[in-house]
Amino acid sequence: MIALLSRLSLALIALVGPLVVPLAAAAQERIDVIGSAPTELVLRSTTDLSIIRPVIERFTARNPDLSVRYEQWGSNNLFDNSRAACEGTAPAADAVFSSGAHQMTWLVNAACAHRYQSPRTDALPASRRWRDELWGITEEPAVIIYNTGAIRGTDVPRSRFELLDLMRNRPDLLRGKIATYDIEASGLGYLFAHADSLEATTFGAMLEAFSRVGAIATCCSAAIIDGVAKGRYLIAYNVLGSYAAAAARDGEGGRVGVILPEDYTLIVSRSYMIPKNAPHVEGGERLLEFLLTAEAQAMLSELGLVTPSDPDETSLLPSARRLIALAPPLLLALDGSTRARLFSLWDEAFAPDTEGPGFGP
Radius of gyration over every alpha carbon of the chain, rounded to an integer in angstroms: 20
Q: Which helix (H) or strand (E) holds 77?
A: helix 75-87
CA distance 139 to 266: 10
Mean pLDDT over residues 87-98, rounded?
A: 97
d(CA 209, CA 204): 9
Each residue of 42-86: pLDDT tens digit? 999 999 999 999 999 999 999 999 999 999 999 999 999 999 999
What residue spans define the domains of the chain?
2-139+269-317, 140-267+335-352
pTM of the predicted structure, to 2 decimals: 0.87
Mean pLDDT of the 261-287 span = 97
How confident is residue 318, by pLDDT bands cut at 50, 70 and 90?
A: confident
Q: What are phi and psi of 43, to 5 degrees?
A: -115, 115
Q: How far is CA 143 from the centre of its chain?
A: 12
Per-residue confidence band for 244, with pLDDT thresholds at 50, 70 and 90: confident
The mean pLDDT value for 303-321 works out to 78
Mean pLDDT estimate for the chain: 88
Neighbour count for residue 90 (Cβ, 10 Å): 14
For 40, phi then psi, to 5°, come to -110, 120
Whether pLDDT at 119 is above 70? yes
Distance of alpha carbon 334 from alpha carbon 331, whole angstroms: 6
Confidence of residue 23 (pLDDT cuts 50, 70, 90): very low
- Contact in structure between 351 and 295 (CB atoms under 8 Å): no
> Three-state SS for 60?
helix
Residue 250 has pLDDT above 70, yes or no: no
Q: Assign domain 140-267+335-352 to its CATH superfamily.
A: Periplasmic binding protein-like II (3.40.190.10)
The CATH architecture assigned to 2-139+269-317 reads: 3-Layer(aba) Sandwich (3.40)
Identify the CA nearest to 135 among candidates 158, 101, 110.
101
- Confidence class of residue 176 from pLDDT cuts 50, 70 and 90? very high
Task: Round to whole Å and give the CA distance between 185 and 326.
Answer: 22
